[in-house]
Amino acid sequence: MTFAELTAFAGRHPLLSLALAGLTIALIVNEIASLFSGVRRIGPAQLTGLINRDNALVVDLRSPGEFEKGHIAGSKNVQPSQFDPENKQLAAAKALPVVLVCRVGQTAGGAAKRLRKAGFANVSVLDGGIQAWQGADLPLVKGR
């Protein structure tokens, strides 16, 4: 496609062109914000390494029902509404790597920012959430 064809298309379809430009800008802003948030996004293989090597604390933010159907071994279930970075139980984990897990990775991002503000230095989010963990064919534990 030539530049002339592209500009002709934009002239014929101004709303589509504006929507594309808006989505592109939103994606760029989101990626830049992620880079400067201080929260790392890690994959299932990296999480496995953190658990085995550094005794990472894994916090699962899904509902109790979802947690009981299957969760990462050793993870702690905390509801987003009850998630308090100032909690005495979490204070002991400030020196540990903390990895937050939710269904697809969105809820965990907001909780991770709260932990960073509370002074946690090593905070990560499982990119893709529990679905990414399952997609990597890694095991889940059922029950509490």
Each residue's pLDDT tens digit, 10-52? 899 999 999 999 999 988 887 777 666 667 899 999 999 999 9
The structure tokens 């009981």 sit at 68
* DSSP character at residue 44: H
- Of 84 and 139, which is predicted with more confidence? 139
What's the pLDDT score for residue 78? 87
In whole angstroms, how large is the CA radius of gyration of the chain?
20
Please, are residues 72 and 136 in contact by the beta-carbon 8 Å criterion?
no
Point out the catalytic residue in the list 42, 47, 50, 102.
102
Residues 16, 74: Cα–Cα separation, whole Å: 48
What's the pLDDT score for residue 38? 65
- 102 given a catalytic annotation: yes
Amino acid identity of 112?
A: A
Strand runs (DSSP E) across 35-97, as ranges? 40-42, 57-60, 76-77
Strand order of the sheet with strand 76-77?
40-42, 123-126, 98-101, 57-60, 76-77
